[in-house]
Structure 1
């Protein structure tokens, strides 16, 4: 199911004006805030998640508020062939020269559990959604971008990709693999104009993050004690970095892992 909206919104110089971006997991949390930030920066958007209804509402709102084109594409990253189908269809939804200019690989899931209680089905699902699908999607997107002069791939990874986190065995494994996949794309496709970088946040206070961490002081306290800034991240602090990485201001940034963690990784 697809839908396209175009609205009249603020004009002027915006860092992503004229660019077209695919954002996965865009119906809520970090993905929804990145969609807001990209629209405000002038990018036309293809928003994808499993459920099209909240995406369509968001797409209409962003089009009206920011004067950008928006398209919606429902997709389940757990499906075997989703990467090829998603990129091919997304590339047809917004008219323009060549493929889309930016991919934001944001969608992900987590099943917190200790290693001794590891569920095989949870492990397999986490690797399908958090590693297999985004890595294949990024490879497909990066190859298409390289054929048409370049583009940007922004991977929303995690501090758990760089520092192990208890009860996140599958999640940390998948995110670490995705970071390495992003580095490899940067190495192979950088000479052809494609930049690929990862953002590695600590806990982000989305609605879900607030429920799991912000509303449970006893659980949050040990984690906060390891963050020198003594707080968790806000979605906007991730989104601002995602905008920068897709813009010309980051034209020499390739193959990087950028922590948005208040110093967690150095503590």
Structure 2
């Protein structure tokens, strides 16, 4: 286990891992605050985990992919919050929007090295974080009455299936994509 917000500790931990050809950047944290209540340490911590960690881990893995001359695929786990604004999610939304544009830049720069990069943007997912942020806080009730193809939490398997596709050769022409997995929420 490593604190992904610690750049050097992460690099040290990854130095003990074998070659990586397929990478999923899945670390993410949040803290709900009204815009006027955001503290600088909240911004630093959320961006350190949600954005900087993806940069750090990806750089390390891509370096070895290039050195070995192998193709690779990276999937960044973003959020619908990178596409739409949600109350009390200012810093989280900003971090996930940053991750989405980082995904596109990585796709442009790493494509010539035969590495594809995409992000998936799930709705609230039935995980510990989803339960803590949405159910425990009562925010899940806000989902009722939202315009969407259907309103429910996503199940982790629904996200994993899309990630597996993006990591596979079946998606060999897919790169630089920011893909909502949200039951139509971001289309409304």
Report the TM-score when normalising by structure 1. 0.65
- 2 CA distance for matches of 1:235 and 1:117? 31
Q: Which residue of 1 aligns with 2:33?
A: 113
When the two structures are superposed, what TM-score results if normalisation uses the length of structure 2? Answer: 0.90
What are the superposed Cα offsets for residues 242-264 of structure 1, whole Å, 9 maximum, x if unpaired?
11111111111111111110011
Answer yes or no: is the 8 Å Cα contact 2:2–2:13 preserved in 1. Answer: yes
Cα RMSD after superposing both structures: 1.8
* Partner-residue secondary structure (3-state), 2:15: helix
Instruction: Report the Cα distance in structure 2 between the residues aligned to 1:88 and 1:226, rounded to whole angstroms.
Output: 46
Name which structure has the greater RCO, CA cutoff 8 Å, separation 6+.
2
After superposition, the Cα gap between the structure-2 partners of 1:182 and 1:86, relative to the gap in structure 1 and judged at 3 Å, is farther
Identify which of 141, 153, 175 aligns with 1:232.
153
Is 1:85 matched up with 2:6? no
Structure 2 residue aligned with 1:185, among 106, 126, 141? 106
Tell me if 1:263 matches 2:157: no
**Are 2:26 and 2:76, in contact at CA under 8 Å, matched by a contact in 1?**
yes
Aligned ranges 1:157-176 → 2 under 5 Å? 157-176=78-97
Unaligned runs of 5+ in 1: 1-73, 92-98
Contact 1:113–1:167 (8 Å) recurs in 2: yes
Q: In structure 2, which of residues 53, 60, 69 is the aligned counterpart of residue 140 of structure 1?
A: 60
Deviates more, 1:79-88 or 1:229-238: 79-88
The structure that is strand-richer by fraction is 1
Count of residues in Structure 1 that have an aligned counterpart in Structure 2: 186
Q: In the TM superposition, what is the alpha-carbon distance from 1:214 to its structure 2 partner?
A: 4.3
Task: Give 1 or 2 for the bigger CA radius of gyration.
Answer: 1
1:213 shift after superposition: 2.8
> Residues of 2 paired with 1:180 and 1:82: CA distance?
26
Instruction: Please list the CA deviations of residues 79-129 of structure 1 after superposition, one character each: whole Å capped at 9, or x if unmatched.
Output: 1324432432222xxxxxxx2111110011101111111111111111111
**CA contact 1:109–1:130 (8 Å) conserved in 2:** yes
Q: Relative to 1, partners in 2 of residues 1:199 and 1:221: Cα closer, same or farther, differing over 3 Å?
A: same
Structure 2 residue ranges without an equivalent (≥5): none
CA deviation string 1:178-205 (max 9, x = no partner): 1111111111111221011101011011
Q: CA deviation at 1:176?
A: 1.2
Q: Counterpart of 2:45?
A: 125
